[in-house]
Amino acid sequence: MAEATPLYDTYARAPLRFERGEGVWLIAEDGTRYLDFAAGVAVNSLGHAHPHLVSALKNQADKVWHLSNLYEVPGQETLGARMTEATFADKVFFTNSGAEALECAIKTARRYHFAKGHPEKFHIITFEGAFHGRTLATIAAGGQAKYLEGFGPKAPGFYQVPFADIAALKEAITEETAAILIEPIQGEGGIRVASKEFLQELRALCDEYGLLLIFDEVQCGIGRTGKLFAYEATGIAPDIMAVAKGIGGGFPLGACLATQEAAAGMVAGTHGSTYGGNPLAMAVGNAVLDVVLEEGFLEHVRDIALVFRQGLASLKDRFPDVIEEVRGEGLMLGIKAKVPSADLLKAIRAERLLAVPAGENVIRLLPPLITSAAEAREGLARIERAAEQLTSVKQKASA
Ligand SMILES: Cc1ncc(COP(=O)(O)O)c(C=O)c1O
């Protein structure tokens, strides 16, 4: 019988207890060192205990922790200006999580049409396999039965079409459609990359029908693909974008970015958050950007991504009965397994490497963006040993 716990039983946690982190390493209570390519599900963008982040947080902690949004928060002005300067956006709303960034994105899109005299335009089209969070609106947007079941009627106004199916999408657009919402790279869905052409078609459709294009870059943003944001590789831009995870480097922080036009309906009183954009979060967010925007940093991400791509391609060739396909962009990588992905994840963990499960029998590698070439090779060597183990088990089974 499972041990009684005061915690909700919502998580199937691995029996690991970590005490501290150093760069790409997590150190368990018993001193065992794990190579952390889970990075708190793409959150620890700069690894653990990054000195610049630690000092930014400590410095702010000595000044003021929390103010609420009753007053001006200079850190918000700074981070907001840096994020709008670096992106398509003109306006930013700070949140504490990805789901809240999505909630703000959805509300922004609906208010845009409302303010233009079209309150009937509140429908959002999303894609199968999507994951946008666990609030009532974001489980409706994600559309996955396993997350919706038992929580009452699905929040109205969310319609889903198959991934990358432009014909189905056109069919789904009605007079009530407000926006199209997509992750440029589905994370939890199994590292499914939306092609540049598909995203360009979405932009064209939105322009044609007067819809807003919303990108969910909660997982793929902040340098993960080797660009600051994944959309930069497409030659087009969204109207609204949800960001979180990597921007806080481990401190709870999210943001909803929008063009001036898209955000026009979000006037005083239409949205709010007690904690969103608090001084501690702003200090860390600004410190993350100091590093990620440093010259050469994104180039480093692209170089390390190449080490992974080449290494994983060779592992796929050598272990075709374990690895079916390697997917992803930059340091957002997926290994589609031939064996049950839970077995691969377990074998990798036995080699003291941490990764994340995903849909479509895929395991995600989301290494910190500061991973060195030597650490990438060390991780690949651990995956190789895990694959060897699984191959020999498979061979024995079929002998
Ligand atoms: C693409 C995407 N959107 C939204 C979310 C929700 O973020 P949070 O868990 O911070 O609410 C996640 C979390 O995994 C995500 O990967």
Residues 368-387 have pLDDT tens digits of: 999 999 999 999 999 999 99
Q: How far is the CA of 120 from the centre of ligand 1 (A)?
A: 28
Q: Is 4 part of a structural domain of the chain?
A: no
Those residues of the chain that have pLDDT short of 50 are 1
Q: Which of 107, 163, 198, 216 is catalytic?
A: 216
> In the prediction, which pLDDT does 397 show?
78
Ligand 1 atom 16, closest CA: 219
Verify that 183 and 284 share a domain, yes or no: yes
d(CA 21, CA 17): 12
d(CA 144, CA 148): 6
> In the prediction, which pLDDT does 184 show?
98
183 lines ligand 1 (CB under 6 A): yes
User: How many alpha carbons fall within 13 Å on the CB side of residue 151?
Assistant: 16
Q: Is 56 part of a structural domain of the chain?
A: no
Q: What is the pTM of this model?
A: 0.97
- Residue 382 is part of which domain span? 18-49+296-398
> In the prediction, which pLDDT does 394 show?
74
Residues 65-107 have pLDDT tens digits of: 999 999 999 999 999 999 999 999 999 999 999 999 999 999 9
Q: Which of 91, 107, 245, 316 is catalytic?
A: 245
Determine whether 146 is an active site residue: no
Domain count of the fold of the chain? 2
Q: Which of 266, 292, 318 is the last residue of a domain?
A: 292
Q: Is 6 part of a structural domain of the chain?
A: no
Verify that 263 and 332 share a domain, yes or no: no
CB 284 within 8 A of CB 129: no
Q: Which of 122, 127, 131, 198 is catalytic?
A: 131
41 lines ligand 1 (CB under 6 A): yes
Strands (E) across 69-139 are located at 91-95, 123-127
> In the prediction, which pLDDT does 2 show?
55
Q: Is 269 part of a structural domain of the chain?
A: yes
Verify that 252 and 231 share a domain, yes or no: yes
CB 125 within 8 A of CB 141: no
> In the prediction, which pLDDT does 1 show?
46
User: How many alpha carbons fall within 13 Å on the CB side of residue 142?
Assistant: 23
Q: How far is the CA of 131 from the centre of ligand 1 (A)?
A: 7
Pocket perturbation via mutation, ligand 1, pick of 132, 135, 191 by most ligand atoms within 8 A of CB: 132
Determine whether 316 is an active site residue: no
Determine whether 343 is an active site residue: no
**Residues listed for the chain:** 399
Verify that 285 and 193 share a domain, yes or no: yes
> In the prediction, which pLDDT does 278 show?
98
- The CATH number for 79's domain is 3.40.640.10
